[in-house]
Structure formats: C-alpha cells, structure tokens
Structure 1
Amino acid sequence: MEDWSLHPPWVWLPPSHYREEDNQPARFFLFRKTFSWQPDDHDQDDQDDQPVLLHVSADSRYRLFVNGHRVSFGPCKSPRGQWHYETVDIRPHLRRGRHRNVLSARVLRYSSLVPGSSSIVSRPRPGFLLVPAVPGRPPVGTDTPWRCCEETTRRIVPRSEWNYLLGPPFLCINERVTEDAALAGWHSPPYDDAAWPAAVPQETAAVQMLPVVSPWRLAPRPIPALPETPGRLDGVIQTHGAVSADQWTALIRADQPVVVPARARVTVDLAVAHLLTAFDLGVDTSPVPRPRSKADRSDPRGGRARLYGPRDFYTVAAGQPAHAFEPFWFRCFRYCQLDIVTADAPLTVSGIALRETSYPLPVTTRLLQATPPDLMRIWAISLRTLQNCRHETYEDCPFYEQNQFAADARLQMRFGYQLSPDDRLARKTLAEFDASRTPDGLIGAQSPSGFPSRQIPLFSLFWILMLHDHLRYHADAALVRRYLGTVDGIVQHFEARLDAARGLVGRFEADTWPFVDWVAAWMVPGHIFASCMPPAYHATGAATVNSLLYAYALRHAADLCDFVGRRSTADEYRARVATLQAAVNAQCRGEASAFYQDGPGVAQYSQHTQVFAILTDTVTGDAARRLLRQTLAAPGLARCSYAMQFYVFRAAEHTGLYAEVFAQLLAPWRAMMAQNLTTWAEDDVNARSDCHGWSASPVNEIVTQLFGVTPLEPGFARVRIAPRRELLEAAEGTLHTPRGDLHLRWAQGEALTVEATREMAVEVVLGATTYPTVLAPGETVCFQ
C-alpha cells in the first residue's frame, strides 16, 4: 500500500471563495463531512467497540468534532522541517446504521505574511487534512467530498486594538465574535451545509521534472493529547450593576441562571482558587490598581480594583434559543471579568464553565511531610507553576507569550526529570531547538517560532546544559551522539568571538540581544535590547559573565563527549576552560575589591559574575567560600532574579555553604507567598508574569538537597542519598528516579529509613559517614 503521508489529501476553500492572506493576523474556517457508518459484514457485533482511527492535521490549528463532540485539538506544535498530525479514535461518538454522522473542524489559519502568534508556525499555504488509518473505513478522508466556508463573523483581535500597557502582543489569540444565526449548530448532524462550497485539493505534489515536495513534512504527534478537565470558577470578587454577588455565586456554584435586564450593563469579577490554564469565557489577569504594579494578588482593595488583560468580545444574535462562547485557544487566568451590555431584551446567563488543560505529566515524586511546614506550600506552588507552563511545549509564561525559550526550558525539563518518568516532552524540546540551528552555529533562542525573533546568544549555552541534564537522568547515548554536532557548532560560535587581546568573549552581533538576566540596575528605559546585561558590556565589549557562562557550558560539553567516547574533544574543551579561567583572573579581578568585575577594568559588580566564577572553579576553596558569603551580604551588587537564583543555590552547594545560606536564598519564594501568589512570578523587576516555570527552583532544592537524591552515575546507575536533616527536622516523601522510586522518612532524633521499589545501588551519606549498599525491592533499611 502506498504511504498516504507521501501524497496526503490536503484541501482548502476553492479560490473563488478564499481571499488571499491580507493584513489580518489570522482567520477562521469551517469544514464538514456528512456520512453513514456501518461496520463491514465480517465485523462481528462483539467487535463493534474496535477503534475507528483517523489521522488529522491542519495549517495552522484545528479543533475536530464528531457529531458535535470535541475529539481532537492540534496539530501539536512542531520544529522546523516537520508538521505533526494527531491520530484519534472517533468510535465512541459514531452512530450506526442509517443515522447521519458529521465530522467537522474549525481551523484557525495564521497568516504566513503577517505576524500572528509567536509560537504557532504557518506554512506558505493553508490546508486541512483528514485520513482514515484504514483506507476508506469509514469513507471520510479529505480525498472524498467535504464542505467548507470561512467564518467571517469570528476574527482574531488585530494588533491595532491591542493595549500595549500589557506589553507586546505575543499571543494574538483573543477573539471578536458576532453570533451568526446561519451557523447555529454547524458541527451537528441536523445542520444543512448545502450552501457551503466544496473543498478542493491543495496542490502539494511534485511538479514534473522539478523537485517540489509538500510544504508539510508529516510526522506523528510525539506527545500525548492534552486533557481538558471540566471545572468551575470558585468565587465572586466584586460586581457592578443590577445582578448581585449572591446571584452570581449561585450561578457558578449551582447553575442557577442569572437574568441581565434589558438596556442594562452589569460587570462581575470572578476568580478561581489558583492561577490555571483552561478553555473558558473570560478575561484574565490579577486585580491591580494599574498595570505592572502588583502587591497582594488576592486583595480587591475594597472593590476599587480594576482588572487589566486581553479581552474577548461576543455579540449574541437575537431570536436564537441558546448562545454559547468558548475561545479557540486556552487562556491563563486567576481572575476573569464578564462585562455584559444588553439592548432591548434581557439576557439569561445559564452557566459558566471551564476545562483545565496542561501536559499530562504523571508526577510520582510526592512530598508527604516536611518541617518547617511552609515547605509543603512551596512545593505545591512549584508544581502548579510547572504545570501551567507545560502544554505542547515548555512555556516561559502561559499568560503573555507561551514561548519556549532555551534558558527557561532547561530548568523546567530538569525539574520534570525529578518528578516523573515521562521525558517525551523533554525529547521533543531538544529536537525543536536542534532543528532551529542557524548558519552561525547557534540554536534559536526560542523554538518553535511563529515569526523571526531576536537571537539571544547565551541561550544556546543553556541548551548544552539541557542536553547534559538529560544525560545525567536518562543516560541515552544515542540521543547525546545525535546532538553533539550542534554542541560543537555552539562552542565554535563562542570560540570565534574570543577577543584575541584579552582572551574573553567579546561582542555579539548588533542584531542580537545579549540578555543575561532581568536586573533593575541593568535596565535602559525605552531600549529593551540594550537592557538585561551588565553595563560593562556596553563600555568594554566584554561582560565577564559571558566568558564564565561559556566556560561553564564547555565543562558540560566535555562531559557529553566523555560519555560517548570522544576523549580528545573533551580534553580540548577542558583546555579551553583553563584558558578562560586564566583570562578572567588576569583581566577581571580588581585589586581594590574582593569581587570579580562585570567587565575588564570596570568597577561594576553583580552576583551573576561571582556565582559563575565559583561554579567554573575560577575561584576555589576558602577563597570561593569567602566570595559567596560576601556576594550574598553585599547590598550594592546587581542581584540574580528568581531564575538565576538556581545557579546561586548551585554555588552554595559547590562551596559547602548550602545549609548556612539556605534560608536566605529561599526568602524570595516566601515573599511571593506573602503576596498571595499561587504560582511563582517571573522576576521582581517587571511585575509582569505571575507564572513562570523557570522560577520553580524549590523543586530541585527539595529533591536534590533537602531529601538529597541525586545520580552518582548517569542514568542513576548508582544513587546518592544525602538528606540535609539539619534543614528538615522531619520529612517523608517518595522520590522518583529512572531506576525506581525511593521512599525516605525521618524525624528528629530518629533514624533515616529508606525503601526502594526496585533493586538499586545507593550510597547513603549521613554527616561524615557513607553507607554503600544495594537496596532490595520493598526492603526498608534504617540508617543512624
């Protein structure tokens, strides 16, 4: 049988009914197929529950229905050079015999000419594809007749209407909908689509004598479908107009309808218990007096607070028996506002629902007890933050951008390895960044990317750390070999930018963003791409931290090479580290200060430079310990953001000062809890994103430091268990490792008990004593 993926039947509107892409960022299209379904004669009744599988995709996104039931949402975001399709079982929703069945799809097509969503890719031409997994069974593929039309009464709100107080319009997902009576029930069997034009094939086959191929190189979805779990709103914050707070509360809790009188305007601010990502009908943000100024997130300020956020608009059509609106794309929110204006007739609101969605990571690491008890809350907030920033990709933030950046994803992936055996999303992420390689050897700072964006050179170094993390936790030699060429290209890019006179990493290209971190002292008002790096970079063309980050990545690259037997390359990379260490010590250590300078000969200092000097062993021993203590005590140093605090924790671990400074380093997370954040914020400079996965460092600290579970060898071939009982008086938890789960428990004055679900070679470290042992499955061992 010929492989259908070589010549897939992509279809679209006929040219006479399709306006070519103009200045709109995106448009909506509807597709329908009516059919009857009867199992073949040789199919037995007792086999009637066998799956009926379809492959489906679209450019750019689709929502597929069977007889009005949602069955698939996609296609999954994909790297350059690939286009994913979903395989879905429609059997549960089919009706047998003479009953009519309808397959229908709403397709959101982002323009390939006008910037739309920054993380959703479009090919030069639109298309919709549906193919039965068993050819012709049922006969519903897009190589058979389908009907289609443009949904002109639903559109994406253009950038011209965007509120730039919220920042740039990265997502481009908000909608303005005018209910169209002619489309009522369009995805259900009774609807008559006779007036719709027939869909026509998109010409994707090769032209004779020319090597032209389809713009969509199809590949199956590599991750599971995202669940959509029904839920409810939890409370009413404030109301204005003729409907009382009690009435709104009865609606969201007991589905008691609310009637908005004619010629009235009512507003209600609604809340969920914690920030989440869901399909709902709402406007999302926190109740604040003005944008970018946030304190207690749950304080409505006596009813005077205002909600700021992107808006969706829905206008109902008169004479319709029922109205329903849900956005095509999920929203991130903790609060949402309904603003209802009626004309000459009342409007009844009979229900408000949501369907929560995120990547279904099976979390097997569980914190059951911890003293001090606020660690339990810190743990829960960290897990929720990661969940909200994990969908078809890892996301920097689910509210503003939903972009997958290498520095963010590196940390989110690492935290995920400590929680779950599922690394499918992580593998997809490694591939997406590898596919984003540019001719200069770097990977894209973000991938997938819906439109060209600024390069951030240092983020390529974090991709090397990302690959190293996967090695430590999963020890997949084939995966490491696959990506070593990309590692070499990144290394060579930085090597080519060493200043010959000073031996330091010099300036990057002018059209890049040499981003290091969100630091208030590094902001240049009105010039974002000149911000977020030490000012010494502008003055000297060399920021010390850039050289140190390069050395840090080189060390990890050397480990990767060692793992697959490339010893000479590993030696070469370590020799380059020694050269960088010498250059930094010679050029960036001022005699008048205990600190490393942010640039050669510049009396400016940051925590970042000191931390990476410690992590690269550019300073060692007692000198490194003194430097870290001074770094954390000095009030004038530029401070690391929540994300970069991860590396401060690592410097504390590296110098043996972890227990001494742990409470100080955890203080920013306790401060966020005091502001009633339910997820961790991006940083304390912008007061922008209230949910940022890179800030979930407490997961790493609780697993690898407080409970002390780390790999002694790649893939946890041997496991180190070194709990910090001086920081946790009592604790109990189940810790995931790729070799099986470990259950640890201790209380003040009692022994540590360890139980493994599988045989496991471990080294238990308690104080100055190490106990090498092999744990048998189900055996509980006590260590004094």
Structure 2
Amino acid sequence: MTNSLADRAPIPAPGSHAFPPGRWRGRWIWAAERAPGGGREVVALRRTLDLASVPDRVPARMAALSRYALWVNGTEVSRGPVRANPRQQPYDDVDLAPYLRPGANAVAVLAWRYDGPKPWWMPPSPLANDLHEGAFVLEARLADGWFVSDESWQARVLPGWGDNVVDRLSGRGEEHVDCRVLPAAWCTALASTGAGGQAGDSCGDAGWPAATARRAMTTGEPGRAEPPSFPGGPLGARPIAQAAPVEVALRRTAAGAYVADRIESGTLVVDASGPPGASVTVRVAEFLAGGEPAPGEHDACFTVTLDGTRRTAESLDLYGLHGALVEAGDGVTVHGIGVRTRTYPVTGGAAFRCSDPVLERIWEIGRRTVTLCSADAYIDCPTREQRAWVGDAVVHQMVDFATNSDWRLARWYPRMAASPRSDGMLPMAVAGDVEYADFTVIPDWSLHWVHAVWNSYRYVGDRDEIGGLLPAVEGVLRWFLPFRNADGLLEDVFGWVLIDWASVTTDGVCAALCGLWGRALQEFAEMAAWLGDEGRAAWARGMHRQLAAGFELLWDAERGRYADSLTEGGRGTAASQHAQAAAIVGGLAPRERWARLVEVLTDTAAHVDAAFSSPDAPAVPGGDLPVGGAYLRIGHPEPWWDTDKQVVRAQPFFRYVVHDALAAAGRADLVAGLCLDWTAALERCATSWSETWYGGTVSHGWSSTPTRDLVVRVLGVEPAEPGFGVARIEPALGALDSASGEVPCPAGLIAVAVTGTRLDVDSPVPFRHGGGEYAAGRHSIPLAGGRSVASDGVR
C-alpha cells in the first residue's frame, strides 16, 4: 500500500459502527495553487491504493467544502455531501470494497468550492478558517490499516472549470468545463510518485503537484487538518441514500434542438468531438414551444471546451429540463446530449389502481413530480431554484411516507430544517443562500414544518428523534406569542405570510394562519404527552383554548363561514377555502359547524380562482401567468370578485389542508372526486405538476397531494399508532367502483383491495377497521354501503 497508515484497528463486524467519535485520521486537503479569477474553483485529486487482496468491507467516509464526486477505478462511487447548515454537516459513508481489485487501484476526486452561498449550499463563516477556501477529506478502513487523504495525494486546480452567475433566483448562469486541462483517463490512470517525492503522472501530461493540507482555524484555536472541525462537522453519517444515476438520452428534433419525453433532473452529459478550443454550449429549457426547446430567463447553460478528441463531459451541478438548445463551434460534431438522472430512489413496489384511469394517472404524475423534487433534500423544483423551502416539503414528505419504502429522506427533512434562528423561527428555506442571508421569514412555513415533525412521529415513532426535534417545535410556537392580542389571536404577524399563491387576505388577524398555529399547538401537545412531558402539553392546550375562544370573532354568521381577516375596521367580507379548512384542522371550529364548512369547501359554483398576481381578473387554470407579481413589494390589490358571495379557491399546495379538513369532518368520500381537479394542470404539463393551477414551474412537488390522498383517504391506509406498528384501514371510495394498491410500512407492504361490497387486506401488521381489531395477515371483510358489516371485536 502506497498511502501512509495511521494506527491499526480491526474491521468492525458487519452492522457495527465503523467510525467511532473522535478525531479523523484523514486530513483536509486541496490544491496548493489557486484558480485565476473569481467564481467556482474546481480541483482534481487522486491517489493510488495498492492491495494484496480486497477485504470483504472497506468502510469509508468523506466530506468536502463545498462539494465532491469520488471515483474508484473509473466508477463513480459517491457524490456529496448532502446539503445542510455547516453546523450540522453530515459526512458521506460508503463501502469501497465492491469497486476495488487486488493490485493498484485509482482513487480520484473532483472537488469544487463555490465562491458564495447558493440555493443549495450554505457556506460557513470565512473568518479565520482556511477550509472556506476549499477542502476535501477521506478515510477508509482496511484490513491492516487506513487509506486516508493527506499530502501524499496529487491535486491540481482545473482552470476553465468555473461558472458565472447571472440569475439571482436560480443562483446560476453558465457552468464551464475545459477538457483540455484534464486527461480523459484521469480517474482510471494510476498516480505515481517521482524522484525526490515529487508527484508524477502516468497519464503522460506535465505532472501533477502534491496536495496541501487545509487547517480549520478559529479564534483561540490554532487549527488542525483533521475533522471534527469548526463550525461543527462533519458530525454524523449520511442520513439518506445516494442517487442511482440513470442516463437518459435526449432526442434530436431539429438542428441544435434536443428534447426529453418528460422533465428530467440530473447532471448534463455532452458527447462531442472537435478541434482543440472549440466549444459546445447546452442551454436547458423547462418549457417547449411547438415541441421545441424554449429557454427562458431562469434557465441555465453548460459549456464544454473540447481538447481535439471525442470526449464525454458531465456537469457538476444539477439541471432540470424538458429540452435543450445546443450551440456548437466550427468543426464540432455533437454525438449526443443526455441527462444522468440524480433523483432520490423510490423503492418497495408501492402502487395504486382504481376504476378511474384518470386518477391512476394523477397518482403516477404526483409520484413522479415528488421524485423530480427529491435530490439531497426535498426541493421546490429541479428546473429553477432547487431550494429546500421549509414549508413546501411537507407534501413531498407525505407522498414519500405513502408511496416509498425508503423513508430516510422523509425523516431527514424535519431534522435538516430544524435550524432555528435565535428567536426560534425557522428560515424560509434552509441550507442555502436564503438561510445565509436571513432577509425575511415565512411564519406559516414553519407551521407546516411542525406538521412534518408530527408526520414523522406518526409514521416512524422514534422517541429519540422526536424528542430531539421538540425543542425546535416549541421555539416555533413560542415565536408567535408576542403577536397574540387580548383575544388570544395572532395579529399583525410580520414577515411574508404566504398561505399559498391564492388571494388570501392576511392583514391584521389572518384566519388561515391562526388555524395553522392551532393545528401546531395540538400536534405539539400530542407529541409532548407521548414523550411524557405533560407540562409542555398542558401549556400548548391552554394556548389552544384561548385561541379557539378568540377565533369566534372571525365567524361570519350571516354568510355561514369564517372571514379571512379581522382588522381594526372589523371583520372582513373576503373568505377562502384556506380559512375554512384551517379552522377545522386547527381544532378551532365547533363540531356543529363542520357540515356547513364542508358545504363552503365544496360549493364549486361559489369558488373563484383569484391570485394576487392577477390583480383584476381570474387566474384561469391551465394558463400561464406569473405566480408572484408586484404585490410582493407593494402589497395586496383590492379584490375584484364579489367577496359577499364568492370564496377564494386554494392553490394545489394548500389543498392538502383542505382535504385533511374534509377527512376530519367525516367526508373523506369526497376526496377522490376532488383529486380530479388536477386534470386542469395537465394542460401545462402532462408528466409533472405545475406550481399553481395557472402558472409557475411545471415540476413542483408541493402540488402532489392527490398521490398521498389516493392512498391515505381512498385506500384509507395510515398509522393507527406512532411507529405504524398498527395500521388504520378505512377506505373511502366516493364515486369509484373499486380501488387497490400496496402501501409501505416499516414491516413491509400493506395490500388493500376495496369495492362497494368487500375489503381485502393482506397486512404484515395488525390493523383497525370499522371499530374492529384485526391480526396481521389476510382478511376479507364484507362491506355494506362502504362500511364493514361487522364493526367490533378482534379478528
């Protein structure tokens, strides 16, 4: 073995913890020289690992500031690390054994440093810490020692591998790769050491310099090159799976135009040949016009400079696209353009079928949309921002719990987002430029995050996990206390009270915000009591009682609905689905009003498609309007609709709350029919869901509520107890003749098939249905009018 060894230690038994706490053996390394100019800096690192034989396991861990990709013998092994606040940064851990062979092995890394915050990366403080200038660390446990990153590695900066940012929303502009500065075989050829210990190169180029160590320094600490390093990480192992890349070739439709069959997300791959210095630029497009790519103002591009040979070059960053326009220099032949997809894996074989093929399609599209918006975090969309918005992801999480047997990302989301400010409120979006800048907050987004914690409590039931999150939940709830008025209502809450993109009045006392706070108080009380903390549970219940009493001021008895707002001028006349739904899920509406609120929520003749970005006319479903608009700076325009008679319809995101309210009111049977509303969005994109009914991106995971509801409401499968050791199965077919599917739980798949007269269940866990208890296994239950004939006792 050519690498230096640290102290020897036996390989842990399979399943045991490979890396105990304490100082690493691997050292932070980087290239000694600096890239000219500003922007991103990319470094190639490599080392040879000689092995007499390959151990059964070679556990390895690694991390970087900012990002890295690792190859062993030319095969990609790992990319990361996952996005996180740098104070919570996990490392990546993999088993290298499957990629190694007896003899010499080429270990190669591309590592890159962003020159500032990105939508998907939050830097640590640059003060007194040279890790900020770029750093990579690796250590692997061998049978007789360690393979680690240190100054014996080779490292070189790659000029021409930078980027220029021109769009603040997406944080990108043009990414550059120059093939002339990196041999094609760089990650498969073996690094060598020349005379006098100077690094040589078996690729036949001018030679690679030795790596230099980076030190983590802080005031009062001279610094060291081994983690753990200030500001806090890496702290623990990668909490989620690695992507399983699949290359998707784009179809050439015209000169320089390439199209995918649907939105794809991943790294761009360019296969081209041409004279040295010639370039190929790929301009990605979220939208097609007349079947051809139509790049817009937020679409980025990727430029490859060729070296005179045929090369396949891959971007470092992720792109979402439906097509691309390709510009090639003189003498260049483009052999192919593709996307190496890098979305989070969906496992386990969950499925949904029913008597309406349209609803089956809606289920599939929602599952696909959440997949597109699942990378190293749940993101808003792959085609533009790629930010981890704290509130958006609650829908992504619920879809994963209902349709993906891999729940690690669903569990990681609440933990990653638990990054409160000093006042207890969460950032709008975490682990990126928004958290870094902290320029405002979306108070209701943190309340959706509380709901995500409650979802984890129900589905996973891990006491340590929920106990660790509960202080952040309490901090969010207490953030609202200074805004309580004498009636216990939240009034004049500052920040961006979004609710969703519909025209919901939020001035003064906002009914929807109060309802979401009420729901969060109840969920906090339930989780605190489950953990045995009756003191905090009692506090939350007391707050909720005062809120519910004051909420009566928002009841409009004349119109039989809750008003959106209450100001010094009195209760407003404007009303929305949002206010009615939040009143129910927040436990603020008396039960005797539920039937009336269901009427308001489902009276489509009285609903209006109003959005503040369309200040004087309806935002027609299937249209193409901006989702934000001037109101974000100048305030809400006055309503143009008849506020006495019409109710503002919720956009796709808040529909999860609307459907939850109907289910809580005993009308889950209405949900299947309401999911058909999503057919309007098919006019904008037939394979993934739009951000709103009327515009925005066409791959927004927060719009995927039907995929959850066709499982949780129509099939009726959800946890009956925290941890899903017992299921609840209460189908609600509505107008459907039949439905069936397979639903993940920790013990395996729960298979359900239901008609109007029969419910068949094959469950690996006990379940409850119709007031009865059923043991794990197969059961066929007669139904009458959609209800079980026998509804008590144990089966």
TM-score over 0.5 for the pair? yes
Deviations 1:426-458 (A, max 9, x none): 332222222x11111122232222432432122
Contact 2:120–2:388 (8 Å) recurs in 1: no
Tell me, yes or no, if structure 1 residue 616 matches structure 2 residue 586. yes
**C-alpha separation between the residues in 2 aligned to 1:644 and 1:584?**
20
Distance 1:72 1:616, change over 3 A: closer
Distance 1:775 1:269, change over 3 A: same
Distance 1:599 1:745, change over 3 A: closer
Question: Secondary structure of the equivalent of 1:56?
Answer: strand
Higher mean C-alpha deviation, range 388-397 or range 570-579: 570-579
- 1:691 Cα deviation after fit: 1.2
Which residue of the partner structure matches residue 231 of structure 1? 247
**C-alpha separation between the residues in 1 aligned to 2:754 and 2:686?**
30
**C-alpha separation between the residues in 1 aligned to 2:214 and 2:242?**
29
Which residue of the partner structure matches residue 573 of structure 1? 540
Matches within 5 A, 1:168-317: 168-172=168-172, 174-180=174-180, 183-189=183-189, 190-192=202-204, 195-204=207-216, 214-215=229-230, 217-233=233-249, 235-236=251-252, 238-240=253-255, 267-281=256-270, 282-288=282-288, 299-300=290-291, 306-308=294-296, 310-317=299-306
**C-alpha separation between the residues in 1 aligned to 2:310 and 2:222?**
53
AA aligned opposite 2:34? Y
AA aligned opposite 1:615? V
Tell me, yes or no, if structure 1 residue 153 matches structure 2 residue 160. yes
Which residue of the partner structure matches residue 109 of structure 2? 105
Aligned residues: 685
**C-alpha separation between the residues in 1 aligned to 2:689 and 2:563?**
31
Deviations 1:551-587 (A, max 9, x none): 121111111122122224323322221211221212x
Contact 2:286–2:383 (8 Å) recurs in 1: no
Structure 2 residues not aligned, in runs of 5+ = 1-6, 9-20, 127-131, 190-201, 271-281, 608-645, 784-788, 790-795
Correspondence for 2:72 among 55, 62, 66: 66
AA aligned opposite 2:324? C
Contact 1:316–1:323 (8 Å) recurs in 2: no
Question: Secondary structure of the equivalent of 1:548?
Answer: helix
AA aligned opposite 2:472? T
Which residue of the partner structure matches residue 576 of structure 2? 606
Question: Secondary structure of the equivalent of 1:439?
Answer: coil
Distance 1:226 1:372, change over 3 A: same
Distance 1:151 1:277, change over 3 A: closer
Give the share of equivalent positions with the same residue, in percent.
23
- 1:60 Cα deviation after fit: 0.4
Question: Secondary structure of the equivalent of 1:376?
Answer: helix
Q: Which has more strand, going by share of residues?
A: 2
**C-alpha separation between the residues in 2 aligned to 1:373 and 1:210?**
65
Which residue of the partner structure matches residue 731 of structure 2? 723
**C-alpha separation between the residues in 2 aligned to 1:549 and 1:690?**
27
Contact 2:286–2:323 (8 Å) recurs in 1: yes
Correspondence for 1:493 among 479, 485, 504: 479
**C-alpha separation between the residues in 2 aligned to 1:568 and 1:313?**
56
AA aligned opposite 1:562? A
Contact 1:268–1:339 (8 Å) recurs in 2: no
TM-score under structure 2 length normalisation: 0.79
Tell me, yes or no, if structure 1 residue 563 matches structure 2 residue 552. no
Distance 1:563 1:677, change over 3 A: same
Correspondence for 2:769 among 757, 764, 769: 764
Alpha-carbon RMSD: 3.0
Contact 1:507–1:542 (8 Å) recurs in 2: yes
**C-alpha separation between the residues in 1 aligned to 2:342 and 2:28?**
29
Distance 1:4 1:192, change over 3 A: farther
Question: Secondary structure of the equivalent of 2:480?
Answer: helix
Correspondence for 1:678 among 687, 703, 709: 687
- 1:314 Cα deviation after fit: 2.9
Which residue of the partner structure matches residue 38 of structure 1? 51
Deviations 1:290-337 (A, max 9, x none): xxxxxxxxx52xx6x73335343435446x222222111222222223
Contact 1:64–1:72 (8 Å) recurs in 2: yes
Contact 1:79–1:431 (8 Å) recurs in 2: no
Deviations 1:77-115 (A, max 9, x none): 234413332233444544544x5x43221111012xx33
Tell me, yes or no, if structure 1 residue 350 matches structure 2 residue 335. yes
Tell me, yes or no, if structure 1 residue 714 matches structure 2 residue 713. no
AA aligned opposite 2:44? L
AA aligned opposite 1:222? R
Tell me, yes or no, if structure 1 residue 546 matches structure 2 residue 513. yes
Which residue of the partner structure matches residue 259 of structure 1? none
Contact 1:230–1:355 (8 Å) recurs in 2: yes
Correspondence for 2:424 among 422, 432, 441: 441
AA aligned opposite 1:628? V
Matches within 5 A, 1:87-98: 87-94=93-100, 96-97=102-103
Contact 1:12–1:199 (8 Å) recurs in 2: yes
Matches within 5 A, 1:551-700: 551-586=518-553, 588-590=554-556, 592-600=558-566, 601=570, 602-633=572-603, 634-635=606-607, 636-660=646-670, 662-663=672-673, 665-685=674-694, 687-700=695-708
Distance 1:498 1:151, change over 3 A: same
Which residue of the partner structure matches residue 383 of structure 2? 399
Distance 1:697 1:207, change over 3 A: closer
Distance 1:202 1:209, change over 3 A: closer
- 1:706 Cα deviation after fit: 0.9
- 1:127 Cα deviation after fit: 0.9
- 1:478 Cα deviation after fit: 2.4
Question: Secondary structure of the equivalent of 2:397?
Answer: helix
Correspondence for 1:339 among 304, 308, 327: 327
- 1:173 Cα deviation after fit: 7.2
**C-alpha separation between the residues in 1 aligned to 2:59 and 2:498?**
46
**C-alpha separation between the residues in 2 aligned to 1:418 and 1:536?**
32
Which residue of the partner structure matches residue 15 of structure 2? none
TM-score under structure 1 length normalisation: 0.80
- 1:402 Cα deviation after fit: 1.8
Which residue of the partner structure matches residue 249 of structure 1? none
